[in-house]
Amino acid sequence: MRVSLPLLVSAFAVCGVMALPVVYLALRAGESDSSTWDLILRSRTVGLGIRTLGLAASVTATAVAVGVSLAWLTTRTDVPGRRLWAVLAPLPLVVPSYVGALILLSVLSPRGLLQELLAPFGVDRLPGIAGFPGAFLTLALFTYPYVYLLAVAGLRGQDPALEETARTLGLSRWATFRRVTFPLLRPSVAAGGLLVALYTLHDFGAVSLMRFQTFTQAIFLQYRAAFDRTPAAILSLMLVAVALAVLGLEHRARGRARYYRSGSGARRPLSPVHLRKWRWPCAAFCGLVALLAVGLPVTVLGYWLSRTVAAGREIGEVGPAMFGSLAAAAGGAGLTVLAATPIALLAARHPGRSSRLAERLTYAGFALPGIVVALAFVFIGANLVPALYQTLPLLLVAYVVLFLPQASEPIRAALLQVSPRVEEAGRVLGRSGAYVFRKLVAPLASRGAMVGFALVSLTVMKELPATLLLRPTGFETLATLVWTESSVGRFGAAAFPALLLVTLSAIPLYLLAGRVDLQEVRAE
Amino acid sequence: MRARHTLVPLLATVLLGAACADQSSPPPSDRGESAATATTLTVYSGRDEEFIGALFERFEGDSGHTLEVRYGDSAELAAQILEEGDASPADVFVSQDAGSLGAVAEAGQFTPIDDDILDRVDPRFRSPEGLWVGASGRARVLAYNTDRVTEQELPGSVFDLTDPAWRGKIGFPPTNGSFQAFVAAMIVTDGEDATREFLEGLEANDPVLYEDNSSTVLGIAAEEVDVGLVNHYYLYEVSAEEGDIPVANHFFEAGDPGALVNAAGAGVMATSDDTDVAMQLIDYLTGDEGQTYFAEETFEYPVVPGYEPSVELVPLDQIDSPDVDLSDLGGTLEPALRLLAEVGLV
């Protein structure tokens, strides 16, 4: 199939924008001299790289294990409380990692809330979680929903006939999962795992609060302490290189196979797997994850809030910030899904060297710490397009650059499950490319687009560095409010906007979960 | 097919939301008018709204000018100003610490402060070139739990905290900018080797590491630790939130790097179109209104001689802070952070 011109032009335009931070960093890095390199060598780059990759690998492995199990349990089985878990499972994604880290620290630090509870039993000090355990726990707990959401979308897109066939041919339930269901899920799981790995690479909030030194932390130190942008740019480019290596891994994990149905036959829902004696252990597993990743944050935030209210302190106005969060999330996610579509189409339908290059380029922004992308847009905005600088449109473009893979991955995964024969048939029957896209491709890819929209809007709602530097003056979001209060140590006052943030995020999640219910009704 | 029914209204909401949000943002400032009429200044503030917002409002009321304040982290705002270069829309940069002001000054992006303003501020708290002035001072102290230790037991020098007698009893926030500025000051006064030795000794004493100054003070109040290295005013901040707590401040002896007094201050951007009004704001911060505000509302040290801190603070002239030029601290911050990382404290 030939690449259509509109597709090529739009993909090219998106890539141009996505490349901006990298071009900017390359220019900054070009200012380096030998003293810069001394500094980089002194900052123990190799050791940092190993620690960073170790963290990313362990967080990703855990997130995949938790995310895939939850996805399978909530979509394919009769686990008790399935709908509840389906609604709760993606929620942790909305907890900003610095808030999550603060919450875990307040509970699990040597003299934290848990120790207070255990004090009557003679426990006067807990070992604490700062360092690797804390960074690992925070990131795994609050990023596994990437895998969960993509795996759910992947499971929905699968043809149940394949599993049924496997069962009829005598495979056990476990063997069916291992040999049919999971391999078919590979593109979705690889995509989700990739998002988790890259999130871990660029995260600053959790690692700095848990005091675990990573690459991103070293970049922040350069900006914050030395005000030297050249070493920060070089370190950032190294991080992009690491991300490209991770992308290569994902490409291999995804495999070359086809994931769409090639035969004819009607698609229909699958009857749920009966867990029998495993029902309650599985429910306990879902409950444990929900307790740690949703119950704990909400309880601690509620506790902080109740202390503030009990002390009679006032809680600032949140109305404008709520509106700001919604506008930023909806605008950012909408624009990102639009920009991601040509990239995903190109990657799914026209695999090849140049489309892979284009696709990888779009990951640069997501692999970079938010502050780096934000400062790149500060430079570009103030100097090249001053009319747009510190306005909402430029902020939304920055969100696209930061989060595009979160939309392009699910769209591509959805497209991979649709046979290109469908489109070819449309064209052969004399329809225009635009018509085929509108009538055939878009509806089929819409499940991925919905997931992408939800993921991006959740992430935008908690985004901080770019929002702080690029927002219109006076524009507040719930995340900036949380930052304002918690940066002066007023956790009680920060708890209210944080709880609202979690509640508002339920909107995109509800849209996704609402679709779950519809399918279940048909299934039962 | 069902997805389109949700996707279409969603996208409509997006566009509507974006359009509304655009209108709700304030109109662009009308700089370029003469300073005599009311103008709008863009202020980048690294000081939290909580601490300084009320003072900005008073300035607006008293002067008739409007301030468009963008709040952020001091160091990140400094980085932002460096990136903006000559295109910076900022008129005034207000910072939590001297280091960020020094970085902007070094890039040549500040215009000199008027002499009459400079002259009134204690020379310790302003740039030697007159490019920025301090507006308030914050002293490094050893906060201690009054139920657990007495003032007499406390060390005269911060170096004494490496004594094994303090094992498990010390807390501090290693990732906090003020703590890091203190380490940078120690490098200036005592050199890198002595500082490394100090940090290693501190680390060997099994300290409790906190996220920030407030939680350190809370930790002292809760008897998690006996003493903590913090800025002096957090005691009053936390008391205001929590009521009476058994915590007091101990000041290290004369010239000790632990007795550093840092400045929060401001500078006027060289690219400002309204230097006159910007200077008025600096005048206000260092004038009667500002100095009284910092003394009484934020429990900081006024930097203009003649104004007294409101609470029972050790008067500034009795704190002999180490012989450190605050604008030099930027130079040793990088080695300070490297040492902290090497010792494993950050």
DSSP string, A502-523: HHHHHHHHHHHHHHHHHHHHHH
Q: Which residues contact A33 (CB under 8 A, 6 or more apart)?
A: none
Tokens read off for B99: 């280091």
Domain boundaries B139-260+324-343, corresponding CATH code: 3.40.190.10
Could you tell me how far CA A404 lies from the centroid of its own chain?
10
CATH of B36-137+261-315 given 3.30.70.260, 1.10.3720.10, 3.20.190.10, 3.40.190.10: 3.40.190.10
A396 in B contact zone (CB under 8 Å): yes
Query: What pLDDT is stored for residue A43 in this prediction?
Result: 56
User: Between B284 and A207, where is the model more confident?
Assistant: B284
Query: What pLDDT is stored for residue A521 in this prediction?
Result: 38
Residue A223: CA count within 13 A, CB half-sphere? 32
Q: Which residues contact A364 (CB under 8 A, 6 or more apart)?
A: A18, A19, A21, A22, A240, A243
Mean pLDDT of B141-146: 94
How do residues A471-482 score in pLDDT, each as one tens digit? 999 899 999 988
Query: What pLDDT is stored for residue A191 in this prediction?
Result: 84
ipTM of the complex: 0.83
B79 in A contact zone (CB under 8 Å): yes
Question: Quick one: what percent of chain B has pLDDT higher than 90?
Answer: 51
Say if B36-137+261-315 and B139-260+324-343 have the same CATH topology. yes
Mean pLDDT of A163-175: 79
How do residues A51-75 score in pLDDT, each as one tens digit? 889 999 999 999 999 999 999 898 8
Give the pTM: 0.84
Among the listed residues A394, A374, A396, A205, the one whose alpha carbon sits nearest the alpha carbon of residue B80: A374
How do residues B170-182 score in pLDDT, each as one tens digit? 999 888 888 988 9
Q: Are A453 and A334 in contact (CB under 8 A)?
A: yes
Q: Are A333 and A456 in contact (CB under 8 A)?
A: yes
Tokens 């109740």 correspond to what residue? Answer: A306
Query: What pLDDT is stored for residue A269 in this prediction?
Result: 59
Checking DSSP bridges between strand B170-172 and strand B208-209, what pairing results, if any? parallel
Please, which pLDDT band fits residue B5 given cuts at 50, 70 and 90? very low
Tokens 């007294």 correspond to what residue? Answer: B308
Among the listed residues A129, A44, A130, the one whose alpha carbon sits nearest the alpha carbon of residue B345: A130
Chain A 193-252, residues with CB within 8 Å of chain B CB atoms: 208-209, 211, 213, 217, 221, 223-229
Q: Where are the domains of chain B?
A: 36-137+261-315, 139-260+324-343
Query: What pLDDT is stored for residue A40 in this prediction?
Result: 66
Domains of chain A: 5-111+124-260+280-523 (1.10.3720.10)
Residue A201 is which amino acid?
L
Mutant choice from A208, A216, A221 vs B, greatest count of B C-beta within 10 A: A221
User: Between A513 and B215, where is the model more confident?
Assistant: B215
User: Between B24 and B281, where is the model more confident?
Assistant: B281
How do residues A76-97 score in pLDDT, each as one tens digit? 888 888 888 888 888 898 888 8
Among the listed residues A309, A316, A307, A311, the one whose alpha carbon sits nearest the alpha carbon of residue A497: A316
Checking DSSP bridges between strand B170-172 and strand B227-231, what pairing results, if any? parallel
Tokens 């029972």 correspond to what residue? Answer: B312
Question: Quick one: what percent of chain A has pLDDT higher than 90?
Answer: 24
Which residue in A213, A223, A515 is closest to B75 by CB distance? A223
Please, which pLDDT band fits residue A255 given cuts at 50, 70 and 90? low
Strand partners, B68: B42
Q: Where are the alpha helices (DSSP H) in A350-490?
A: 353-361, 364-367, 370-384, 392-416, 420-428, 433-436, 442-462, 465-470, 478-487
A and B: number of Cβ contacts within 8 A: 185
Distances (CA, A) of A224 to A167, A305, B88, B176: 59, 31, 19, 11
Helical axes A319-349 vs A5-18, angle rounded to 10°: 130
Strand partners, B119: none
Q: Using the predicted structure, report yes or no on whether residue B221 has a pLDDT greater than 70.
A: yes
Across chain A, mean pLDDT equals 83
Least confident of A182-186, B90-94, B269-273: A182-186
Mutant choice from A51, A227, A372, A518 vs B, greatest count of B C-beta within 10 A: A227
How do residues A276-317 score in pLDDT, each as one tens digit? 788 888 889 999 999 989 899 999 989 888 887 777 666 777
